[in-house]
A = this chain, B = another copy of it.
Amino acid sequence: MSSTRQNRQAARQRGVRRKARNNSGIAAAMAKATVPGAAYQVLSDDDVLKVHRAALELLERVGMGSATPRVIEVALANGCTLSDKGRLCFPRALVEDTLVKAAKSFVVHGRTPEFDFEAGTGTLNFCTGGAAVKMLDIHSRRYRDSTLADLHSLARLCDTLENIQWFARPVVATEIENLLQLDVNTVYACAAGTRKHIATSIVQGSHVREMLPLFDMLAGGVGQFARRPFCTVHATTVVSPMNFAPDSLDVAVAAVDIGMPIHCQTGPQAGATAPAALAGTLAQGCAESLASLTIINLLQPGYPVVMGNWVFVSDLRTGAFSGGGGEQALLGAAAGQMAAFYGVPGGVGAGMTDSKIPDQQAGFEKGLTLLLAGLSNGGLVYESAGMLASLLGCSFESMVIDNELLSSVRRIARGIEVSDATLSVPVVEEAVHGRGHFLGSEQTMALMDSEFVYPQLADRASVDDWHDAGSADMWDRATLRAKEILGAHTPHYISSEIDRRIRDHYKIRLPDPTAV
């Protein structure tokens, strides 16, 4: 425990330096990781070991089905075995060795360097995520199919939101039927709209190779993407329970070939594709994640992988996925804690809600899941902004609101700084014997911008002032703000020369901004 505490203290020091940098006006620094000053541990140290041992037992005894020939080949060469049912079984020592060799942290590259950050345990970064197929229309407030234009607008919006560090494509461009065109245009739309790190899933391994010229062009030339890989592939390499997803596994293998970082996901649902016992779902999720992590590290030791152990919940009354309950908050925090135990960058799903609109249900479901995930020390928190309707829907207004919620979560993660100076005994003494209050005092003026976060959208007016200003709710205010940003922030982060070359090579569906 004391080493954890020391790490936190050191981390807090880094946080102080980071804060100093913020105050000096480097806007991009605001988008950097929060370094948590306090943590929530849902599992005892003993529980963590038990979960890990159960995961090892599952990998050894049950193994993973549906491995691809290339994966089977490399796995067997390294000590795995095939069961009589054709399942790939992992000896414990191999998994443990993998954890020694696996990348403990790596730089997540922005499209531009000021948005780079370090992924690893003990840091906290928020990412969008999801593959919603519906948009809650900002004008009609009704759901409709999501489009490439929505995706591009979400990228532009996210580009301005200081509490989101990484833009994973939240919606699918449902109007594009050709799957390669879908993958290409998804990356193009994200890259055009934001300077932050981007991420997407890719349909099949061959697309990864066909898209390398796109990645290289966007990075500035042949071979440049591998030097600063600004895009991660989200590969859901597992179909729970305990089977690989061959297509996605191919994608992950191809990603290794071109040097693209991988967010390796599994998504077991308690009670549906994993045990109803939360501990069992967690153990299965760890086993599935470790299987993918092992395979990738066999292909290339120390490869940049995020362990995306997205353990989910089913509502057992219906069997449907449910993203917003207390069980989901617990599982997200526990998955983050397991990643921290493994010492590898972890990815957790949180910020989900089953509500269809930005109402009080969305508020508390997102608040509970994001806060617990944020305090779990796991590393990266996905789905953290914009998602509604159990990940089926997305909304500009929600992304703006969630960015605000994240400012509170990040403030909480920073914790309370305790020192002789902050304990303030002489400050109290002076106030008691002097003016009787602390408003406008020297310490108050010095700390008002570092100790407190001031909301941009959350209303703190009096009842009368709020009423006189039109009784707007959070959704109303977010609608105004989102429209304002989308109207004013119309960057194109691809130079006209590179854009022309990309359009020569691929069918790009977004309008050419240089063509009038």
Taking beta carbons and an 8 Å cutoff, which residues of A are in contact with B?
1, 5, 8, 38-44, 46-47, 50-51, 54, 57-58, 61-62, 65, 85, 134, 142-143, 241-243, 270-280, 282-284, 313-320, 322, 324-327, 329-331, 334, 354-368, 371-372, 375, 389-390, 392-393, 401, 405, 407-412, 415-419, 421-425, 427-429, 431-433, 436-439, 441, 443-444, 446-448, 451-455, 457-460, 462-463, 466-467, 471, 473-475
What is the CB-to-nearest-CB distance from A318 to chain B, in angstroms, rounded to a whole number?
7
Known: A241-B431, A275-B443, A463-B393. A364 touches B363 (CB 8 A): yes
- Whether the pair B418, A275 counts as a contact (CB closer than 8 A) is no
- Whether the pair B5, A438 counts as a contact (CB closer than 8 A) is no
- Whether the pair B363, A411 counts as a contact (CB closer than 8 A) is no
- Inter-chain contacts of A431 with B (CB < 8 A): 241, 275
Cα–Cα distance between A401 and B326 once the two chains are bound (Å): 15
A-B contact pairs, 9 of them (CB 8 A): A50-B418, A275-B422, A275-B438, A280-B428, A355-B459, A355-B474, A361-B457, A362-B363, A371-B372
* Beyond A43-B416, A61-B425, A357-B473, 10 additional pairs, beta carbon < 8 A: A50-B423, A62-B432, A242-B428, A275-B424, A278-B417, A283-B425, A330-B416, A363-B367, A368-B371, A392-B462
- Whether the pair A371, B367 counts as a contact (CB closer than 8 A) is yes
Cα–Cα distance between A474 and B393 once the two chains are bound (Å): 17
Q: Which of B50, B273, B429, B474 contacts A360 (CB 8 A)?
A: B474
- Inter-chain contacts of A278 with B (CB < 8 A): 416-417, 422, 451
Known: A356-B459, A360-B363. A334 touches B467 (CB 8 A): no
- Inter-chain contacts of A360 with B (CB < 8 A): 358-360, 362-363, 401, 473-475
Known: A330-B416, A364-B405, A372-B412. A451 touches B276 (CB 8 A): yes
Q: Which of B390, B416, B436 contacts A460 (CB 8 A)?
A: B390
- Whether the pair B280, A423 counts as a contact (CB closer than 8 A) is yes
Q: Which of B62, B334, B422 contacts A429 (CB 8 A)?
A: B62
- Whether the pair A277, B447 counts as a contact (CB closer than 8 A) is yes
**Closest 3 CB pairs between A and B?**
A363-B363, A280-B424, A367-B367
- Whether the pair B451, A368 counts as a contact (CB closer than 8 A) is no
Q: Which of A331, A361, A447, A459: most chain B CB closer than 10 A?
A: A361
- Whether the pair B437, A273 counts as a contact (CB closer than 8 A) is yes
Smallest Cβ-Cβ distance to A316: which chain B residue: B448
- Inter-chain contacts of A423 with B (CB < 8 A): 50-51, 54, 277, 279-280, 283
Cα–Cα distance between A387 and B275 once the two chains are bound (Å): 38
- Inter-chain contacts of A427 with B (CB < 8 A): 275, 277, 280
Cα–Cα distance between A433 and B21 once the two chains are bound (Å): 56
What is the CB-to-nearest-CB distance from A122 to chain B, in angstroms, rounded to a whole number?
15
Cα–Cα distance between A43 and B12 once the two chains are bound (Å): 13
Cα–Cα distance between A416 and B334 once the two chains are bound (Å): 9
- Whether the pair B364, A408 counts as a contact (CB closer than 8 A) is yes
- Inter-chain contacts of A325 with B (CB < 8 A): 408, 411, 452-453, 455, 458
Q: Which of B85, B362, B459 contacts A354 (CB 8 A)?
A: B459
